[in-house]
Amino acid sequence: MEKNVILAFSDFAMRKNLIWFFSTHRQKGIYARTLLLPRSDFPVHMNHEERVKMDEQISTACNVDDLYKWQWNQNKPTFVLHDGPPYANGDVHLGHAVNKILKDIFARYKAMSGFRVHFRPGWDCHGLPVELLAIKSVDENSRRDPILVRKRAKEFALKAVQSQMDSFKKWAIMADWKNPYLTLDKEYEGKELEIFKILHQHGLVYRAYRPVYWSPSSRTALAESELEYVTNHCTEAVYFKYSVVNFPKKILALQPTDRIWALVWTTMPWTLAFNNAICFGEKLVYILAKIKSEYYIFAMDAIDRLRNLLKLEIEVKSTFQGSFLSGLYYACPMQPDHALPFYSAEHVTSAKGTGLVHTSFAHGFEDFAVAVEHGEEVKCFVDEDGRYRRELGPDLGGLQVQTEGQAAVLEKFKKYILTKENVTQSYPYDWRTKQPVIVRSSKQWFIDTEQLKKAALDQLNDVNFYPANFAQSFKEVLARRPAWCISRQRVWGVPVPIFYDPETNEPIESNSLLENTVRLIQQHGSDIWWHSQAGDFAVDDTTMKLCKSDEILDIWFDSGVSWAAALDEQRKSSADLIVEGMDQLRGWFQSLLLTSVAVEQRSPYKNVLLHGFVLDEQGHKMSKSVGNVITPDAVISGQGEIGSKQIPAVGVDGLRLWVAQCAADRTHIPVGPQSLLTVKQTLGQLRSTLCFLLGVLNDFDCSNDSVEYDRLLVVDKYMLHVLAEFQNSMKSAYESFSALEAVTRAVQFSNGSVSKFYCTTVKDRLYCERAESLKRRSAQTVLHEVQTAFTSAVAPLLPYLAEEVHFYRNGKLGSFVFQKGWYDCPQQWTDKTLSDRMDPLLKARGRFLADYGKQNTYKFSICINDVSLKENIALLWSNSADAVVELADLFRVGQLQIGYNTNDNEFDVASVQHPLCSRCRRYICQLLYCTIPPRGFVNVRSYAFHKWIFRDHGTFERLRCQYYTHTPRFVPPFVFILHPDLSLLRRCVEVVVDQINAGRIQRDDIPGQYLKLIEKTTSRKIFFQSDVDNTTVKLEKLEH
């Protein structure tokens, strides 16, 4: 008997018993055990204990200190990520996580893509919060001891640094943790004072008496960047009247006894105690109006507001330009012996109030400018605690200006108040104490920003901002910046290294004295300023008496010189990237830029990435009193509840995924149980896809089993094209510093291109084909590349997941994915021609699945009629037999034919009327239905052959069939039919027999009386045709 007989038995009883064996063991799952199903121990889901344990294991194996050292020692170009220092105060919060994780994502990407990354973490250790902690920790008598306060403050700062560092390392932040920069280190302080010395020598630092934001709660001056504007600040606005003493009454036909009042409006009534002038707008139109029996001057635009507020008739007596008020004077009830002037000022408008502005020279920036313009003396009667000085008399002296003092002023001068109203406005608060500030004039040290602005703005033209719209915002904020007040009246910080003449209290201008002071602080640290006497800093030839400054430098100056103090040899060029919150547009971004431009005439950074601020899911700030605070540890391990909802545990990678998915490109970053549950689900989807990839690659050795590109199936080549495009898109996202785009593309690729498209298409090949078959190895080759490339692409985002996948694939745990570097796809994979030809087929597939996708599509047969689709098929597949098999998988149908007729339908859909394969559950197409040759073929030769079908009465029936030498539209697999209800595709019979022969179906699973029968049958009597190209030859032999 010929070896290519499809099925023949020499003994009827053997046939019958073998059929019994297959039918019996189908129910026992013997067919299922022959399927090559995915096998992997990689967990898709873990409880929080398992997740924390796994994170700890990976963290230990992938030590970030060793990883940073390894990449830094590579001989590669340097990428400098300059770390903005967080405050060394308190525990970490989600704002820290957002900032540090975003930095780490791009640092890891750059290190994987051909750079060594300089990422030196830093901490801002000085400032009021730490000093207040230190003050609270000592007794009342020691709080005035600067040495003790500084000692305690340093202890608090170093403890916070260590605590925060441990958390940052726990989040897999790869940085130079063994060499951080701290603003309290003497090396840093020394370099900071070097910068101060240069600025001072260039005439950019000066001392002046001028208004500054002052925090009574902190007892110090504040810069604009140290303010928080509270939008719902409620205050009492007052309409206050002053008697005009030289108004020309005759011109307006008024009686000499008529009294004229100038009506002003102010939202800071406490400043009425020291009114200095009334300002008006020259171009505004003013009126003289009669209200009841009195006459008032105010802007025409305010008349409706006053009518609504007073509920009184207002009779307009005269109108005039603002210039008419020039030269007029008024009597101030606080200074009854003085006539005070009206001054024209550009800042006056009539949009609010009365168009006449109460002016107090010492307590407003515009007010101070008016005083300077007119040569007026400026005196401040508010002390460092925000209280009225004793010079104002017993009625006001010692009272806090914004509370009891304001109430006293209103009571004392209530007869001059026409009316009052409550207004809600945006008002500056101390960012640390959360208390309102005041504007107060005092002697302070300033940096002359006017000399630096133009050069700084010019430098910004070469800086990239992400998002780009913030570039213009930053320029506008910088252009409006006033002089930078750099002195603070505290002790925990770097001293202002200036000495004063004790007799005149004027600073001593001596370069040699300044240089010697800087040198001593560089050698001994800033504590020497408080431990030593002023004379200890004097140079040899100095005999004058010295008095040390009792001020420290602004912490924004501390951190603002980090480009010089922290980057060391990396100062040769600007930092490649800085990443901070949007609030730093008014803070660190400016201080870095201004100091660098002043000293080195260049921007200290090339790229600026901004992120938003963390709020709860309702858009509210987090507060312990409200109970909506979520900590990073709670996100990682699922600790606590918000309301009645449990915080889901998402692990370190989940925390990083939340940052990339929710924190990038947003002003407000939502966090809560619902948003974290979404992150957990997304992470689960990624893990599910990777688990499948690991499972189907469990028997694949890339070094031995890979299929060359030219031998891959068409759909497999197309998937490599999709993979190459994905990898390029990920690279583009990272290069443009968009973590959100990167994670979005990764999720879309995993869920769409890999899971829903490719894995669905090749799943049948992976499960049901022979293990070593070309079809299966072709798919595995592609899936291996997908797994490798995808793991590389998401490694910067999810480093623990990447290394976990590598461990389950290769059995090694460490920083292997990272050290392998970025996976670049071969250029050969990018095939636009292939993509263009596949695109119409995929669109047709999409339309078919849109209509039938909710059903079992394998029950359907498709006949493609569209000419353009058939042309693309002919261009993609040289063999139509291969085409219909691949396309059937692509369309997820039981049978696909390429029609030779053309009709209006793109494709026709019909139900498959054939039996299911008992092993792979695919529909079997009988050869009898598929033997019509395509139209246009000539010299078609046909051959007869036989197939055997077992009938119910226990006999085999031989059917005569026709077969054509030219490949028909659809050549189905040959069929091994044991019984009408127990049919197997040819490939499934092959696999079953292979499994029996290989012993993968255990001998114990086979009844003893059939074991010999099965072994004899499978080894001698069953042979299969496996080569479609040689089918005709075999059938000829059969016919013979």
Residue 1000's pLDDT is 66
Q: Tell whether 23 and 111 lie within a shared domain.
A: no
Residue 642's pLDDT is 75
Please, which pLDDT band fits residue 989 given cuts at 50, 70 and 90?
low
Query: Cβ(840)–Cβ(131) under 8 Å?
Result: no
Is 633 within the bounds of a domain? no
Is 444 within the bounds of a domain? no
Q: Tell whether 515 and 576 lie within a shared domain.
A: no
CB count within 10 Å of CB 436 equals 18
Query: For the segment 471-508, what is each residue's pLDDT rounded down to a tens digit?
Result: 999 999 999 888 899 999 899 999 999 999 888 888 98
Q: Tell whether 160 and 256 lie within a shared domain.
A: no
CA separation, residue 505 to residues 205, 498, 551 (Å): 17, 11, 14
Query: Cβ(583)–Cβ(553) under 8 Å?
Result: no
Q: Tell whether 87 and 26 lie within a shared domain.
A: no
CB count within 10 Å of CB 142 equals 13
Query: Cβ(673)–Cβ(640) under 8 Å?
Result: no
Residue 778's pLDDT is 96
Question: What dihedral angle (degrees, nearest 10) is formed by the CA atoms of 512, 517, 522, 523?
Answer: 100
Q: Tell whether 546 and 567 lie within a shared domain.
A: no
Query: For the segment 794-852, what is each residue's pLDDT rounded down to a tens digit?
Result: 999 999 999 999 999 988 888 888 999 999 999 999 999 999 999 999 999 999 999 88
Residue 963's pLDDT is 38
Residue 1002's pLDDT is 58
With a cut of 70, say whether residue 996 has pLDDT above it.
no
E strand or H helix that includes residue 560: helix 555-560
Rounded Cα distance between 957 and 951, Å, is 7
CB count within 10 Å of CB 46 equals 16
Rounded Cα distance between 451 and 457, Å, is 12
Q: Tell whether 265 and 363 lie within a shared domain.
A: yes
Q: Which of 434, 451, 477 is the last residue of a domain?
A: 434
Residue 1003's pLDDT is 52
Residue 984's pLDDT is 64
User: Structure tokens of 1029?
Assistant: 């190209």
Q: Tell whether 272 and 303 lie within a shared domain.
A: yes
Quick one: CA dihedral 365, 367, 370, 375, positive or negative?
negative
114 torsion bin: left (phi>0), alpha (psi -120 to 50), beta (else): left
Question: Beta 438-447 vs 205-215: how paired, if at all?
Answer: antiparallel
Query: For the segment 686-697, what is each residue's pLDDT rounded down to a tens digit?
Result: 999 999 999 999
Residue 664's pLDDT is 67
Residue 716's pLDDT is 95
The predicted model gives 261-284 an average pLDDT of 93
| Residue, of 963 and 690, whose pLDDT is higher | 690
Residue in 814, 828, 820, 813 with CA at minimum distance from that of residue 792 = 820
With a cut of 60, say whether residue 937 has pLDDT above it.
no
Q: Which of 404, 434, 464 is the last residue of a domain?
A: 434
CA separation, residue 443 to residues 379, 493, 505, 549, 554 (Å): 11, 19, 11, 12, 15
Look over the chain and give the mean of its residue pLDDT values, rounded to a whole number: 83
Q: Which of 628, 658, 684 is the last residue of a domain?
A: 628
Please, which pLDDT band fits residue 667 given cuts at 50, 70 and 90?
confident
Q: Which amino acid, 841?
A: L
Query: Which 8-state DSSP code applies to residue 917?
Result: B
E strand or H helix that includes residue 577: strand 577-581
The pTM for the full model equals 0.82
Query: Cβ(863)–Cβ(934) under 8 Å?
Result: no
| 3-class SS of residue 147 | helix
Please, which pLDDT band fits residue 251 given cuts at 50, 70 and 90?
low
Q: Tell whether 419 and 523 lie within a shared domain.
A: no
Query: Cβ(651)–Cβ(636) under 8 Å?
Result: yes
Is 108 within the bounds of a domain? yes
- Start-to-end CA span in the chain (Å): 11
Rounded Cα distance between 561 and 588, Å, is 10
Residue 954's pLDDT is 35
Q: What are phi and psi of 31, to 5 degrees?
A: -70, -45
Please report, for the domain that includes residue 351, its CATH number: 3.90.740.10
Rounded Cα distance between 506 and 521, Å, is 23
Q: What angle do CA 1028, 1033, 1036 make, to 5 degrees?
A: 125
As a whole-number percent, the residues of the chain with pLDDT over 90 amount to: 51
Residue 946's pLDDT is 38
Alpha helix (H) residue ranges in 821-961: 832-852, 867-876, 880-891
Is 1010 within the bounds of a domain? yes
| Peptide bond between residue 497 and the one before it cis (omega within 30 degrees of 0) | no
| Residue, of 925 and 325, whose pLDDT is higher | 325
Q: Which residue has the tokens 């597949």?
A: 877
Query: Which 8-state DSSP code applies to residue 34?
Result: G
Q: What are phi and psi of 705, to 5 degrees?
A: -105, -5
Query: For the segment 548-557, what is each residue's pLDDT rounded down to a tens digit?
Result: 899 999 999 9
Please, which pLDDT band fits residue 934 given cuts at 50, 70 and 90?
very low
Is 291 within the bounds of a domain? yes
Query: For the segment 727-763, what is each residue's pLDDT rounded down to a tens digit?
Result: 999 999 999 999 999 999 999 999 999 999 999 999 9
Residue 335's pLDDT is 83
Alpha helix (H) residue ranges in 700-773: 702-705, 714-735, 739-748, 760-768
Rounded Cα distance between 9 and 955, Å, is 11
Q: Which residue has the tokens 């469990």?
A: 698
Specify the long-range contacts of residues 9-17, CB closer than 8 Å, at least 24 apart.
9/956, 9/1017, 9/1021, 10/1021, 12/954, 12/955, 14/1013, 14/1016, 14/1017, 14/1021, 15/950, 15/956, 16/954, 17/1010, 17/1013
Residue in 666, 654, 665 with CA at minimum distance from that of residue 630 = 654
Q: Tell whether 286 and 358 lie within a shared domain.
A: yes
- What is the 3-class SS of 938-976, one letter each residue? CCCCEEEEEEEEECCCCCEEEEEEEEECCCCCCCCCCEE
Q: What angle do CA 392, 393, 399 make, to 5 degrees?
A: 75
CA separation, residue 742 to residues 393, 404, 485, 656, 753 (Å): 67, 56, 41, 13, 15
Residue 821's pLDDT is 92
Rounded Cα distance between 387 and 400, Å, is 4
Q: Which amino acid, 360?
A: S
Question: What dihedral angle (degrees, nearest 10) is formed by the CA atoms of 1006, 1008, 1014, 1015?
Answer: 110
Residue 140's pLDDT is 78
Q: Tell whether 289 and 401 lie within a shared domain.
A: yes
With a cut of 50, say whether residue 1011 has pLDDT above it.
no
Percentages (nearest 5) of helix, strand, coil residues in the chain: 45, 20, 35
With a cut of 60, say whether residue 572 has pLDDT above it.
yes
Rounded Cα distance between 484 and 561, Å, is 14
Rounded Cα distance between 691 and 1018, Å, is 35
Query: For the segment 30-76, what is each residue's pLDDT rounded down to a tens digit?
Result: 667 788 889 989 999 888 888 888 888 898 988 999 999 999 999 99
Rounded Cα distance between 728 and 830, Å, is 10
Which residues have CB under 8 Å from 482's CB, separation 6+? 224, 365, 449
With a cut of 80, say whether residue 860 has pLDDT above it.
yes
Query: For the segment 75-130, what is each residue's pLDDT rounded down to a tens digit?
Result: 999 999 999 999 999 899 999 999 999 999 999 999 999 999 999 999 999 988 89
Domain count, the chain: 4
* Highest averaged pLDDT of the listed ranges 354-363, 954-963, 1001-1010: 354-363
Q: State the residue range of the domain holding 1026.
A: 1-35+924-1040
Is 130 within the bounds of a domain? yes
Please tell me the total number of residues recorded for the chain in this structure. Answer: 1040
Is 442 within the bounds of a domain? no
Which region among 185-199, 668-682, 703-717 has the lowest average model confidence (pLDDT)? 668-682
190-213 burial, b for 16+ CB within 10 Å, e for fewer? bbbbbbbbbbbeeebbebeebbbb
Is 349 within the bounds of a domain? yes
Please, which pLDDT band fits residue 999 given cuts at 50, 70 and 90?
low
Query: For the segment 15-33, what is each residue's pLDDT rounded down to a tens digit?
Result: 444 444 554 554 446 667 7
Q: Tell whether 932 and 967 lie within a shared domain.
A: yes
Bridge partners of residue 548, in order along the sequence: 499
Bridge partners of residue 118, in order along the sequence: 80
With a cut of 70, say whether residue 337 has pLDDT above it.
yes
Residue 788's pLDDT is 95
Q: Tell whether 286 and 343 lie within a shared domain.
A: yes
Bridge partners of residue 916, in order along the sequence: 923
User: Structure tokens of 147?
Assistant: 């040495």
Bridge partners of residue 98, in order along the sequence: none
